[in-house]
A and B are shown apart, each in its own frame.
Chain A
Amino acid sequence: MSGNSETKTLTRPASPPRQFLGVFSNGCPPSHDTTFAGYHVTQTSFTRQLDLAVQGAWPKRHRSKYVDVKVLLMSWESDDLGVEDEVSALESVFTDLYRFDVESWKIPDERPGRHAIDKVMRFIESGDDPDGLLILYYAGHASQPYHPGGLPTWTAK
C-alpha cells in the first residue's frame, strides 16, 4: 500500500489538534492529552495494515535472503562501562555462529566524529550490495539530543 492511499483512509479532525503537550514542567506526562482522539482509520485499511505487518514480521519458511552480511561493532577506546567482554562475545556470535564478516572498531578519543564518519563511509562502501545487510552496533553512553526529536550524542564517559 502506498503512503498516499493510507492518508486518504485516515480521517482527520476538522481543526488541527492543539500542539502536543508533551511533558509538564514537573516531568509528568499529562493524563488529559486527547490530541489523537480525533484520528480514525477505516476497518479495511487497518486490516490491510495488520495483514502486511503479519506477513512482514515473520520470515519465510527458510533462511534470509542475504548473501553478504557486514558487521561493524563500535565502542570507545576509553570506554568506562566495561563493554569489552560483551562486545567480543557478540563478535564471536556473529563470526562463529552466523559467519558474518565482523569488524570490531574502537572509537578514538581524538576527533572521534571525523574518524567515525570515515569508518562508517568505508563500512558502507565495503558492503554496497543490494543483497547485502549492514549491521552497525554501538555500545556506550548516549546523551539526550540537543533538539527535541533529534539524534543523541555518543559519549565515552
Chain B
Amino acid sequence: MELNTFPSSRSRDSPKFELSLIQPLLCDVDEKSPDVLLLYDSCHPANGQGSTRSGRSVIELLAATGFESIAPEVGRDSFTNCLIQELSAAAGQRKGISIPELHSRQICRLQSGDQRSVMLGRDRDGRMRVRTNGSEAIFETPRRRTPIHCQLSLNDRPRAIVLSPLAATTTDGAEFIELGNSCGIKTAVGSWDSAPQLQALLRVSIAEDEFNETEFKDWLCSAPAAARGIRVMGIWPSCSTMLLLRVPIEVWDLLPPSPAVSFVAFVWGDASTASQASLSAITSGAEQQLTKQTTDVAASRKGKEIDTTSLENSSTELASTEMGFDVELAIKSSNADEETPRISIEHSEDDARLVDILNAVDAALPDIFRRVRAATTTSNSCRDLTVKREVLTVLGLQASGPEGDPRKLGSINRNVLLDPEVCIPPIPPTHGLSLIFWIPESEIHSQIYQHTRYAGVR
C-alpha cells in the first residue's frame, strides 16, 4: 500500500531502533501498574497503539505531530519548548494540569500569533549572521504543527493524567507562601485564559430521528464546569440526525474512539472571553459587598480591622473544579498584618476544612439548580427568598443523608448567607448564584468565602 514507506535516506546510515521494541513494554499494564505518560518530540502516527487490556492505569501519549507533517525543530515553536512554558506556568498555580489541558494549551499557543522570524546562520568563521538573499533578510514562517494526543489505554472511565508538583520533602515550608504570592504568574495565566480558545468541531451521527435538545441542555446544566464550553452548532435531519458539536479540546481528547464521531476542524470558541469579562465584574462587585460583610463579622468576632486581600481564581480553577458551573472565590483574611492571602489549600487543617465545605456545596449544587428551576417554572418568578430556602433545604437534606456529616454541614447551614445580588450584573438564579459563608470553627484565620456558581447554559 502507498503508506508503506521506509526511513528516508536521511536516516539510512543513522543509528536507529524501532519504537515497537520499547513502547509495548510500557503499555503492558495490569491492575497494579503505574500510569504512563509518553511525550514524543518527534513525528508519531496518530493511530495510537496501546494496551489491549482494559485496566485501571492510564496511558496517554502526546506527540509533536502526526505523520502528516514534519515536527517543528528546536526553537520557539518546538513541542518541548511549549511543554517547558506550559508546565512552568501550571506549576505556579498550586494545582495540577491534566494532559488533555496541556494538549489544549499547546494547540492554542501554537495557533495564536504569527510572528515570522529572521533566519540566522553561522558563516564559515562560525559567526552568527542574518541570512539574506543579497540585500533582503530571509524570514522563515513559523513551523507550527498541531500536537496529537492519544489515549493508549482502555479504561472503563476515561481519566486524565494530572501533573502537579510533589510535596517538598524538606520542611522549610517557605515555598507555598512564595507560590501564593506569585502575582506575576497569576496575571500571565489570567491573560492566557481570557484569550479565545480553540475548540474541536465534531460531527456526531445520532441514531434517533430527532435530537432532544432539552435533554441535552439539562445535561449541560448539571454537568461539570468544563461542559460550559460545549455548544451545539447545528442539527440536521437526514435518515438519522447529524449533529455538529463544538467541544473543548480536553473533552475531545477523552472521548472514546467511535466511527459515529469524527473531527471536523479546530474552531475558535467564544465562551471564554464573555465569561471572563463578567467574572471580573463580579469580583469587583463582590469585593464591596464582602468588605461590608467581613467588617460586620470580624467586628463581632475580634473587633479588628480587616485586611481585605482578595484572590481571584482564574478560570483555570473554574475549569478544573470537579462539579458544575464556574466558581469564583473571594477570600478575605482577617489577619490584618498579613499581605498575602494564605490559601495554601490542603496544607493546613483549616484549608482542608474549606475544601471539604466547598466539596459539600459543589455536591449540592445540581440539586439546588434543579429545585430553583422547578420553582421558577411553577411560580414564574423566583425571589431571593425562594432561592435561599431551596439552598438551605438541599444542604439540610444532604446533612441528614446517609453520608452527610451533620456537624460539618450543619455549620454550613448556619453560616451560609445567600445573596444573588452580589453577582454584577445580577444574574437570574436559574443561571447562577452566589453563596457567602464563613467557617466559624477556624481559629487561625477567619475567612469569608464567596462562592459564585453558574449554570452552564446562557
Q: Please list the residues of chain A having a beta carbon within 8 angstroms of any beta carbon in chain B.
A: 1-3, 6, 9-11, 22-23, 25, 36-37, 39-43, 46-47, 49-69, 76, 78, 81-83, 85-87, 89-90, 93-94, 97-100, 107-110, 112-113, 116-117, 120-121, 124, 127-157
- Cross-chain contact B255 with A49 (CB below 8 angstroms): yes
Q: A36-B259, A148-B1 are in contact. Are A133 and B42 (CB under 8 A)?
A: no
- Cross-chain contact A81 with B255 (CB below 8 angstroms): no
Q: What are 17 of the A-B contact pairs (CB < 8 Å)?
A: A37-B205, A53-B158, A55-B224, A57-B100, A57-B250, A86-B41, A89-B84, A90-B80, A90-B83, A98-B163, A127-B34, A132-B35, A138-B40, A138-B41, A142-B19, A151-B18, A151-B19
Q: 1/0 per position for B306-317, CB-CB distance to A under 8 A?
A: 000000000000
Q: Please list the residues of chain B having a beta carbon within 8 angstroms of any beta carbon in chain A.
A: 1-8, 10-11, 13-23, 25-26, 31-45, 47, 49, 54, 56-57, 67, 73-74, 78, 80-81, 83-84, 87-88, 91, 95-98, 100-101, 154, 156-169, 204-208, 211-212, 215-216, 219, 223-227, 230, 240, 247-248, 250-256, 258-262, 319-322, 345-346, 355, 358-359
- Cross-chain contact B15 with A143 (CB below 8 angstroms): no
- Cross-chain contact B320 with A139 (CB below 8 angstroms): no
A-B contact count (CB 8 A): 342
Q: A41-B207, A109-B15 are in contact. Are A65 and B254 (CB under 8 A)?
A: no
- Name the one of B33, B44, B80 contacting A152, with C-beta atoms under 8 angstroms: B44
A69 to chain B, nearest CB (A): 7
- Cross-chain contact A152 with B91 (CB below 8 angstroms): no
Q: A23-B2, A134-B37 are in contact. Are A50 and B251 (CB under 8 A)?
A: yes
Q: A63-B95, A98-B165 are in contact. Are A57 and B39 (CB under 8 A)?
A: no
A interface secondary structure, majority = mixed
With A and B bound together, what is the CA distance between A46 and B232 in angstroms? 13
- Cross-chain contact A93 with B84 (CB below 8 angstroms): yes
Q: A36-B259, A63-B95, A86-B84 are in contact. Are A52 and B15 (CB under 8 A)?
A: no
